[in-house]
A and B are shown apart, each in its own frame.
Chain A
Amino acid sequence: MRRPAAATAVVIAGAFVLAGCGSDGKAELSVESPYIPQPVSDTMAAGFLTVVNKGGAKDELTSVTSAVAGSVTLHETVGSSMEEVTSLAVPAHGQLVFKSGGNHLMFEKLKRKPVQGETVDVELHFAESGPLKVEIPVESAVYSPKTGH
């Protein structure tokens, strides 16, 4: 008699947590596989990462800040030129992907050149959700996330 009651309580608690996941319409953001290839230039670098949204509402990445750069801007690649944009959408149950040849973060007016093995602290700001702090590792100039080296 005791055991089934306890089991029921656990299942109910589980159900409440789960319900919070999809149905109350909030973005739930996290960052995956961030990296900065060690730049050639000592004034500019690119950064890549994926913003994952497990929530049921969309959000927008509106700005990125970092102590190492005078400015960090969002770029999307259109054909073979890049265009600065003021925000990028993070769809509900979806992701915003920055990858080489596509969207990238552009670090300009670098205060120092990021070197392989270091990490660079950045903060991502969103239209709805609170800011996310990310420690981005600096990888080799030829790093590819597909091969991992």
Chain B
Amino acid sequence: MRKKTFAAAALLAAATLTLSACGSGDSADTSVAAVSEENGKQQAATVLDQPFTKPDLVLTDTQGTSYDLRKETEGHPTLIYFGYTNCPDVCPLTMSNIAVAKKQLSKADQDELRVVFVTTDPDRDTPAALGKWLKGIDPQVVGLTGKFATIQAAARTVGISVEPPHKDKNGKMVSTHGTQVIAFSPKTDGGYLLYGEDATVDDYTKDLPKIMKGQNP
């Protein structure tokens, strides 16, 4: 009787050890990641001390007509994003987040806001292809295409680095998208806020009314 109790206790101890060894490995990584995500989630926008000048960019819109970015968006709150339509993940998510947040604004504010999507893959993103894709997100979004070199140079002036589309070793096209959305103030026309790709629809919904007035969120 006494012996059996001891054996049971020993087995129980062994079982406890095995359990903890089994369980500890997979939780370590995730808890660290969760903590850092929580910390970064306070404020989606980065406010720039030195706002970007709006790029001097003339490209072709989805109707096939010439679009002068500075002229068309002057005095309007403006969001600019560089991406491409053959992008399954970040580009449609970013544009959909903005589109859904925009719909929470008054009709007048929606008409006042300019959302500009500049393609980084102009060979595939023709005016027609861009128009079709943007219609699925928000027909008010301005889609621009043109020469890649022109787009790349304009992107560089607002701190966005994009590489020319190229074929990978399997012969598939690889394009790059910008990692940030830039918000321009209607008061100064300066690009004063940056949003990373982890900005959610809630972040944009919260911040857009401020951007409409050129205020910091």
Q: Which residues of B contact A53 (CB under 8 A)?
A: 26
Q: Which stretch of A15-23, A60-68, A117-125, A127-135 is in the interface?
A: A15-23
Chain A residues touching B, range: 35 or more
- Of B4, B90, B176, the contact of A4 (CB 8 Å cutoff): B4
* Contact A18–B26 (Cβ < 8 Å): no
* Contact B89–A100 (Cβ < 8 Å): yes
Shortest Cβ distance from residue A21 to the other chain B in the assembled complex, whole angstroms:
5
Select from chain B the residue with minimum beta-carbon distance to A113. B136
A-B contact pairs, 21 of them (CB 8 A): A1-B1, A5-B4, A18-B22, A22-B22, A37-B92, A37-B96, A40-B133, A45-B88, A53-B26, A80-B179, A81-B176, A82-B174, A84-B170, A84-B172, A94-B29, A95-B26, A100-B93, A141-B92, A141-B100, A142-B96, A142-B201
* Contact B26–A80 (Cβ < 8 Å): no
Q: Which residues of A contact B21 (CB under 8 A)?
A: 22
A101 at the interface (CB under 8 A from B): yes
Total interface residues on B, using CB and 8 Å? 52
Shortest Cβ distance from residue A112 to the other chain B in the assembled complex, whole angstroms:
15
Q: Which residues of B contact A52 (CB under 8 A)?
A: 26
Given contacts A22-B18, A46-B89, 14 further A-B contacts (CB under 8 A): A8-B7, A15-B18, A18-B18, A40-B85, A44-B86, A79-B176, A80-B177, A81-B176, A84-B168, A93-B24, A100-B90, A100-B93, A107-B88, A142-B96
Select from chain A the residue with minimum beta-carbon distance to B98. A142
* Contact B88–A54 (Cβ < 8 Å): no
Q: Which residues of B contact A80 (CB under 8 A)?
A: 161-162, 176-179
- Of B15, B95, B174, B200, the contact of A11 (CB 8 Å cutoff): B15
- Of A8, A23, A94, A107, the contact of B4 (CB 8 Å cutoff): A8
* Contact B92–A39 (Cβ < 8 Å): yes
Q: Which residues of A contact B89 (CB under 8 A)?
A: 46, 77, 82, 100-101, 104
- The residues in B between 167 and 207 inclusive whose CB is less than 8 angstroms from any CB of A are 168, 170, 172, 174-179, 197-198, 200-202
